[in-house]
Structure 1
Amino acid sequence: MPSIPVLALPSHPDPYPAYQWHVSQDKIRFDEGTQCWIVAQFNVVQEILASPEFLVRPLSAQVPPPIAGSSAGELFSLLIRMNEGDKHRLGKQVLQTSLNQLDLQRLDLVIAEVVEDLSRRYDINKANELNAWISRVAVSVIASLCGFSHSELERICLWIDEFVQCFSPISTPEQLEAASKSTVTLMSSFQTLLSSAGSDPDSFLHRLQAEAKAAGWDSASALLANLVGLLSQSYEASIGLIGNTLIALHSDPALYSELQHDLEKLPQLIDEVARFDSPVQITRRFAKSDCEFYGASLRSGDCILLLLAAANRDPAGNADAERLILDRSDRRSVSFSYGRHACPGETMALRIASAGLHHILASLAHRSNRPANVHPLNHLHWTYRPSVNGRLPIFQTHHKDMS
């Protein structure tokens, strides 16, 4: 049995031997340390994610107790990815349809504008500014698509920095209080934006409101909440996708060289890194009622930890699963969930990450003080943010590399 507690795996320097051990165990087993059931095999993880018998929240606690009764808790209760029911299914349909109808040329233009704006404000050759750049790019793109001006983007990003703390069970009371304050500000900002969205019939918000009206999704507060939710999901996806891809390139000079000669392969690499070193490593489901599952007797409300990072490296899901294979043709992944709660913004997240990495690699390759024979990413080192769910790197440099 590995000595690493299961909830410490996402931020561990090398969790994959432990994940491999979990894959080798029973299809479902009880973990005394977390008092949760654990599932790690690819096919069983997919089965749970697709089944209506396993819920994203227990029926007895639709909102996590630490934020119940707060502004953040009220917003949480309206998020389509965090709850069940007809209204939430309808909201997901509306958001998915609106995202699928995005004008990709317009999206690419917004991405390019955001990348240029961020690059004027942050020097990505410095690790602390690279971290800021990575955490802001996706949030800024989506906020821009919604209609926020460039002068507002930094404030939106700072509020999202605070808001996402409400999702973590290890956040302090001070962080949760800040998250609730940011919730109020974000909801108010989106309310102001929505009131003027009708002036541009081609805008994302105008089309989203039209789709909501046509579908009968008539909850204004739910619409606002899920716009905030879209920003918060993009925040961690961006950090994980871009950061973990940089780590993969740092670890494999040959892969880096291949990408430098053909940056068109970046989307393939990001897809593979999303499987190989998943941004979201663990998620939860709760038994809807008493049931038997692969010989285990589950009670209503029992928590199941789904080890997505382990499932992605299960040989039953992917051949040669422990290797990062750039041109893998039959890739299977649960990094963006699966089935009823598959992430509606996956395509946009991958597109933003690809454009962001293209810029970062081009900038780092032209560092004026880099010796010609030194890997452009060699100055970077990293740890991981404390998290029981996400694998989110924080980059650092040696003191001599910082100015």
Structure 2
Amino acid sequence: MTPFEAATHADPYVYYSGLRRQNGLLFDADLRLWIASDAEFVEAILGHPDCCVRPLNEPIPPAIARGMAGVIFGRLMRMNEGPPHLCPRMAIEPALASVETENIEDIVSRVVDILDNPVDNVDELMFTLPVSVIATLIGLPSSRLQEVAKLTRDFVACLSPLSDEIQLGKANAGATRLSELFTALLSSDDKCSRFLSHIRSGCEATAWGDHPAFIANLIGLLSQTCEATAGLIGNTLVALHRNPDLIEEMQLTPMMVADLVAEVARYDSPVQNTRRFVAKRCTIRGRVLEAGDTVLLLLASANRDACANPDPDSFLLNRTQRRTFSFGSGRHECPGQQLALTIASQTILVWLHRQSTPFDRPYRWRYLPSLNGRIPKFYRDQETQQ
């Protein structure tokens, strides 16, 4: 098995454990990259200033460099270092932190009522609902939510090396249309949403006035929500399917759903790995990395490191001082981590509340093709695996 195959394997965690026992940081000659598998190395590399999110000589992947998807990609704060990373983050992060659980609960309940049966249609529950919540927060009208969710799914295809030419074409079209929608929203004379107003205030406070980058990072909020939150919701449903006693427990004590989702994020991470690219020669925990080296960080493996989480292979709702690397760490730690957890928790609550008999017909699942994401695709016994 390779780390890329592990992301969508039925149970990659025995493999990760074996890697941690060999070495927390080892070089794979076949893959021509370093593999960091334990919590200490993962955290150290994520926090090191010479380990960047993109290679210095390739800020945009060649496959998308000539299209609109590449233009958006190149302006995303998560794909940049220095001011292009810090300026939008300083404007957007406070707005993300200001969103209250009660607000998300209200938006989720409203969005559920206008979507296409998202409780029974698990794909709609996982993908359309979370993106629609963020789109609503930003201020896009309810009539656009289905379109925006589809466009976002089209756009995120550009982030995967597995995408074909057709998918990349749709990604470019999706990026173009999303840019048009946000341009229209920002140009409107209508009163903007509280969330968008907060971001605009942050732009003024930090003197960040890059309008194209502003639009790109609004699209980035949708794209980061899309697959990661879908995986978090889906893997929580997997956990409930494997532990049906938890369903009644969650229905009786809904306050525990947040603990359930937080433990799923650690135990069965929706983002299994990420990469860092060494900008210049550096030494990390006694290991020398050369300029141009690539490091694959196994976030899901670090989550299962006993040094970070005692008894790591047990699923514990009441785990104390839980450490989760699924959302990254250091300067590129996802600023929407708490918002993603809240959206997933509220979505699971809706699913539990509206299901009269959860799993009355057992689900099966496989994982969508990916080199780093762990997102289940559910189907029934009598359904074809599309």
> What TM-score does the superposition give when structure 2 sets the normalisation length?
0.95
Assess, with a 3 A threshold, how the Cα gap between structure 1 residues 144 and 396 changes in structure 2: closer, same or farther.
Answer: same
Distance 1:172 1:64 in 2: 14
How many Å apart are 1:400 and its aligned residue?
7.6
2:230 matched residue in structure 1: 239
Structure 1 unmatched ranges of 5 or more:
368-374
Alignment of 1:1-400 (within 5 A): 4-118=1-115, 121-122=116-117, 124-125=119-120, 129-196=121-188, 199-200=190-191, 203-294=194-285, 296-364=287-355, 366-367=356-357, 376=359, 379-399=362-382
Distance 2:350 2:97 in 1: 25
2:36 alignment partner AA: V
Residues 250, 378 of structure 1: 8 Å contact kept? no
Assess, with a 3 A threshold, how the Cα gap between structure 1 residues 201 and 153 changes in structure 2: closer, same or farther.
Answer: closer
Secondary structure of the equivalent of 2:277? strand
Residues 104, 342 of structure 2: 8 Å contact kept? no
How many Å apart are 1:104 and its aligned residue?
4.5
Query: Over aligned residue pairs, what C-alpha RMSD do you find?
Result: 1.8
Give per-residue Cα distances to partners, 1:230-267, cap 9 Å, x unaligned. Answer: 00111112211111011111111232332232121000
Residues 250, 377 of structure 1: 8 Å contact kept? no
Assess, with a 3 A threshold, how the Cα gap between structure 1 residues 385 and 77 changes in structure 2: closer, same or farther.
Answer: same
Residues 94, 212 of structure 1: 8 Å contact kept? yes
> What TM-score does the superposition give when structure 1 sets the normalisation length?
0.91
1:341 alignment partner AA: H
Indicate the larger mover: 223-232 or 83-92: 83-92
Give per-residue Cα distances to partners, 1:328-376, cap 9 Å, x unaligned. Answer: 0120111111110111111111111111101112233x14xxxxxxx63
2:158 alignment partner AA: C
1:124 alignment partner AA: V
Distance 1:393 1:163 in 2: 20
Residues 247, 352 of structure 2: 8 Å contact kept? no
Secondary structure of the equivalent of 2:7? helix
How many Å apart are 1:85 and its aligned residue?
1.2
Secondary structure of the equivalent of 1:138? helix
2:318 alignment partner AA: D
Distance 1:151 1:245 in 2: 29
Assess, with a 3 A threshold, how the Cα gap between structure 1 residues 29 and 386 changes in structure 2: closer, same or farther.
Answer: same
Distance 2:137 2:192 in 1: 13
Assess, with a 3 A threshold, how the Cα gap between structure 1 residues 99 and 123 changes in structure 2: closer, same or farther.
Answer: closer
Give per-residue Cα distances to partners, 1:194-217, cap 9 Å, x unaligned. Answer: 112x64265222221222022111
Distance 2:292 2:62 in 1: 14
Give per-residue Cα distances to partners, 1:85-126, cap 9 Å, x unaligned. Answer: 1232011111101212235443332222112222xx22633x
Residues 60, 301 of structure 1: 8 Å contact kept? no
Residues 278, 292 of structure 2: 8 Å contact kept? yes
Structure 2 unmatched ranges of 5 or more:
none
Assess, with a 3 A threshold, how the Cα gap between structure 1 residues 360 and 104 changes in structure 2: closer, same or farther.
Answer: closer
Residues 269, 326 of structure 1: 8 Å contact kept? yes
Distance 1:254 1:104 in 2: 26
Residues 137, 238 of structure 1: 8 Å contact kept? no
Residues 46, 330 of structure 2: 8 Å contact kept? yes
Assess, with a 3 A threshold, how the Cα gap between structure 1 residues 318 and 106 changes in structure 2: closer, same or farther.
Answer: closer
